[in-house]
Amino acid sequence: MTAPSRRIVFLGTHGQYNIGDELLLETFLTQLGSQHRYLVNSYDPAFTRAQLRPRFDVEVIDTGADRLRMLRALRSADLLVFGGGSIIKELYASTGRNPYSTLAMILGVVTFARRIARKPVAMLNIGVGPLRTRTGLWLARRILSQVDLVTVRDQKSLDTCRGLGIDAILVPDAVFSADDAFLLQPADDSAAPRTEGPVRVALNLNFDIENPEAWEPFLDRLAEALEGVHSRHPLEVHALPMQIGFKQHDDVDVLDDLARRLTTVPFVRHEPRTHADAARLIRDSDLLVSERLHAIVMASILGVPSFVLAYDVKVRELAKTLGIAERTIDINDPFDVSTLVDGLIDLIAHREEVSAHVRSRSAALRETARRSFEEARSWATGR
């Protein structure tokens, strides 16, 4: 029996050329089902249309310019879904925006959907936090108390919801529902041939950290650590920018900045444009060193060991979920360069063991994520 079709307004951070966000969008629409009709927001509607059509029946509106159109669409939709990402949060000072701007916008949309359009609302596989102030907590409570179904992707988010008096369900990040074939689509021939030589390190950096004053000292320490490892285990660093464009200090800019600080370590510049490009780069590396959450998720699914550069709560929580918290360093505070050197060298020495661990852990999370999507599909089709 064919599942019923629904008109779903699906909102998130799309069209900012962030590979992780675009991968979330692909994942959610695939898991919710291609039989539905979707209205999706995007900062670049043409980009998002090209990404999704013709596989999905989707109308794409401009996030900034079409807000009235979105509200009108809510009146004729069957439900509103927010999918993945750190949705309920105060923005860091490094973004240059009002810390409550995202919360205020979401509060307006959710309130309209529930009180004016009278539609059910779901927030699926989201992150909740950071919420550092009374105002942020108040806004979060006002939003979440109006949502019918809340699933969160980490324990910290669940604890925060409980502290707000919100009934939430703990599930994995949505991308854990993917497997190798999904990440690497369209299929290519095979992995790059493995040869003797330097350790290939895929490296991702993201400027938007909790403590922006720590950024320059962090880059200096990271460069020094990579040089220190290279003197003992020859490295070849491969740039893995997960966001190219849209904002100042994008991942390409900060990776280039790091490259200028390296004196002996070979640095290979890449500009992946899709999640498949990024997945292939990760697959063909020996290990990943990364800030961004979805680079680490993809690496774990592909069995590539990660050293985590924890820049905020969601990445720290992911490291705990994957059981690699000991292979993590917090980049918001000063750290001893030797600690990072020793950690990377230990990971190189044990990379096959860590690879097997994260692949096994990801497989278990995949089963849980897919079960959670079965429940989400049942909820959506029952509206």
Residues 245 and 377 reside in one and the same domain: no
User: Total domain count for the chain?
Assistant: 2
Question: What is the pLDDT tens value at each position of the chain, 383 positions in all?
Answer: 566 899 999 999 999 999 999 999 999 999 999 999 999 999 999 999 999 999 999 999 999 888 889 889 999 999 999 998 888 999 877 677 888 999 999 999 999 999 999 999 999 999 999 899 999 999 999 999 999 999 999 999 999 999 999 999 999 999 999 999 999 987 665 666 666 789 999 999 999 888 999 999 999 999 999 999 999 999 999 999 999 998 889 999 999 999 999 999 999 999 999 999 999 999 999 999 999 999 999 999 999 999 999 998 899 999 999 999 999 999 999 999 999 999 999 999 999 999 999 999 999 999 999 999 999 999 998 87
- Residue 190, classed as helix, strand or coil, is coil
Assess if residue 281 is contained within a domain.
yes
- CA proximity to 132, closest of 102, 101, 160, 104: 160
For residue 78, what are the contacts with CB-CB under 8 A and spacing of at least 6?
6, 7, 8, 119, 120, 383
Q: Which residues pair with 57 in a beta bridge?
A: 37
Q: What is the CATH number of the domain that holds 149?
A: 3.40.50.11720
pTM for the complete prediction? 0.94
Assess if residue 267 is contained within a domain.
yes
Residues 125 and 252 reside in one and the same domain: no
Using the 8-state DSSP alphabet, how is residue 97 labeled?
S
Residues 71 and 113 reside in one and the same domain: yes
- CA proximity to 143, closest of 121, 125, 163: 121
Q: What is the CATH number of the domain that holds 246?
A: 3.40.50.2000
Assess if residue 295 is contained within a domain.
yes
End-to-end Cα spacing for the chain:
18
Q: Give the integer Cα–Cα distance in Å for 373 and 354.
A: 28
Assess if residue 2 is contained within a domain.
no
Dihedral over Cα of 40, 279, 340, 256: its sign: negative
CB 87 within 8 A of CB 176: no
- 195 burial (CB, 10 Å; 0-12 / 13-18 / 19+) is exposed
- The boundaries of the domain holding residue 313 are 182-363
Residues 251 and 356 reside in one and the same domain: yes
